[in-house]
């Protein structure tokens, strides 16, 4: 007895149902735009090893990478909708974005790394304490985390910013001025800090220890993206967390990889990395307390055009499996 042949309509119907089911199980394709800086350690590693692409592929997400020279243009690109997610920026940067009315969301933080920035003087300098900076010329990058460290150190020593002569310079220009003897002190962060210590005769006058300046770094997205693609941010968060642990557990391998990306010798990178926590965690309202200290200090110095409430920023919270 022969089995009846299905009609063409029935065959087409079954094929349509099967295809519809397959399409339903395949997430729609989307490209997210990820901004980073050359110094974005954990993101640089993920860009190199392709692990983030692998983590996002099941979500139907691809990545387009966009490099920025500094944190402020990166956050401006997020605010204008040209970037969806931004790799780590120094603690001061989100406050400038808030002051400009940017609708951003804190996604993750790297925990405190107070020894990753410091105020340097020459090894033979007569300057022995922060109080000795009075009347001296100090190189600092305007608006950077190092700027807050200098303000905090001066305040603790009973000095104001008006008691010194600031030279607002980029890290590279600041180092040149410092080594050339054109400034009395220089406020630097890693890897510039460690590089200067290893290659020139320098002495640390003060770093951010003892509650002076924690130096956290933050990962941010647009508020709209945080509301829309929490699944993507969860995947990114987990990969950043894993990579931070890998860097600390494998300092030599991490330094060798980054040295090639940064054009810095491996020993310097390894030492600089030892000053960073690379501990990726969730942002909390209480954890933003120093952000408020920075905001108030910068407003007082006229660096921020308006008062900023750090606690008003949107905070995205990762979901644990």
Beta strand spans in the chain (E): 30-37, 61-68, 85-90, 104-110, 117-122, 137-140, 165-168, 185-189, 202-207, 217-222, 280-281, 314-315
Contact 152, 211 (CB under 8 A): no
> May I ask the CATH class of domain 30-112+216-315?
alpha beta
Give the pLDDT mean for 125-154: 96
| pLDDT of 13 higher than 50 | no
Q: What is the mean pLDDT of residues 139-161?
A: 96
Q: Is the pLDDT of residue 6 over 50?
A: no
What size, in residues, is the chain?
321
> How would residue 28 be classed by pLDDT, with cut points 50, 70 and 90?
low
What are phi and psi for residue 59, nearest 5 degrees? -90, 5
Mean pLDDT on 214-232: 95
Q: What is the pLDDT of residue 7?
A: 43
Query: Is 26 a residue whose pLDDT tops 50?
Result: no
Query: Domain 114-207: which topology?
Result: D-Maltodextrin-Binding Protein; domain 2 (3.40.190)
Do 30-112+216-315 and 114-207 show the same overall fold?
yes
Q: Please state, for a pLDDT cut of 90, what percent of the chain lies above it.
A: 84
| Per-residue pLDDT band at 8 (split at 50, 70, 90) | very low
Percent share of the chain, pLDDT over 70: 91
Residue 285 CB-density burial (10 A; 0-12 exposed, 13-18 middle, 19+ buried): exposed
Structure tokens at 265: 């010798």
Characterize the bridge pairing of strands 314-315 and 104-110.
parallel
Summarised one tens digit per residue, pLDDT across range 239-295 is: 999 999 999 999 999 999 999 999 999 999 999 999 999 999 999 999 999 999 999
Per-residue pLDDT tens digits for 74-128: 999 998 999 999 999 999 999 999 999 999 999 999 999 999 999 999 999 999 9
- Which is nearest to 237 in space by CA: 70, 20, 245, 13? 245
| Confidence class for position 38, pLDDT limits 50, 70, 90 | confident
- Residues 94 and 305: their CA atoms lie apart, in Å, by 14
pLDDT the model gives residue 276: 96
Q: Are 81 and 223 in contact (CB under 8 A)?
A: no
**In 112-147, which positions are buried (b, 16+ CB within 10 angstroms) versus exposed (e)?**
bbbbbbbbbbbeebebeebebbeeeebbbbebbbbb
pLDDT at 321: 64
- What does the longest C-alpha to C-alpha distance in the chain come to? 107
Question: What's the rounded Cα separation, in Å, for the pair 86 and 110?
Answer: 14
Stronger pLDDT, 16 or 313, i.e. the higher one = 313
Mean pLDDT value of segment 227-232: 96
Alpha-carbon distance of 297 to 251, in angstroms, equals: 35
H and E: helices and strands count for the chain: 13, 12
Question: 300: Cβ–Cβ under 8 A, 6 or more apart, which residues?
Answer: none
Q: Is residue 207 scored above 60 in pLDDT?
A: yes
Domain boundaries, the chain: 30-112+216-315, 114-207
- Which pTM does this prediction carry? 0.87
- Please tell me the predicted confidence (pLDDT) of residue 39: 86
Q: Which residues contact 121 (CB under 8 A, 6 or more apart)?
A: 127, 184, 185, 202, 203, 205
At residue 73, does pLDDT exceed 60? yes
């Amino acid at each position: 007895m022969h089995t009846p042949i299905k009609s063409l309509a029935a065959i087409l119907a079954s094929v349509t149902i099967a295809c519809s089911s397959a399409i339903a199980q395949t997430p729609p394709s989307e490209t997210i735009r990820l901004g980073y800086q050359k110094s974005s350690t954990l993101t640089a590693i993920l860009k190199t090893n392709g692990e983030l692409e692998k983590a996002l592929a099941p979500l139907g997400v691809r990545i387009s990478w966009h490099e920025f020279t500094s944190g402020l243009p990166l956050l401006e690109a997020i605010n204008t909708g040209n970037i969806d997610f931004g790799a780590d920026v120094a603690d001061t940067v989100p406050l400038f974005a808030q002051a400009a009315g940017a609708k951003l969301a804190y996604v993750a933080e790297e925990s405190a790394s107070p020894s990753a920035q410091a105020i340097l003087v020459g090894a033979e300098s007569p300057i022995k304490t922060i109080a000795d900076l009075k009347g001296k010329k100090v190189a600092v990058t305007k608006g950077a985390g190092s700027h807050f460290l200098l303000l905090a150190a001066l305040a603790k020593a009973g000095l104001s910013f008006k008691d010194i002569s600031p030279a607002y310079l980029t890290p590279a220009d600041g180092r040149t001025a410092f080594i050339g003897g054109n400034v009395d002190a220089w406020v630097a962060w890693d890897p510039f800090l460690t590089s200067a210590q290893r290659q020139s005769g320098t002495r640390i006058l003060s770093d951010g220890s003892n509650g002076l300046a924690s130096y956290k770094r933050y990962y941010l997205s647009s508020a709209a993206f945080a509301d829309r693609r929490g699944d993507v941010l969860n995947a990114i968060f987990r990969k950043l967390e894993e990579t931070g642990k890998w860097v600390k557990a494998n300092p030599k391998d991490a330094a060798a990889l980054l040295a090639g990306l940064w054009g810095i010798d491996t020993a310097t990178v390894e030492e600089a990395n030892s000053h960073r926590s690379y501990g990726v965690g969730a942002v909390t309202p209480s954890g933003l307390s120093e952000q408020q200290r920075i905001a108030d200090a910068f407003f007082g110095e006229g660096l921020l055009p308006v008062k900023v409430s750090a606690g008003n920023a949107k905070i995205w919270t990762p979901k644990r499996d």
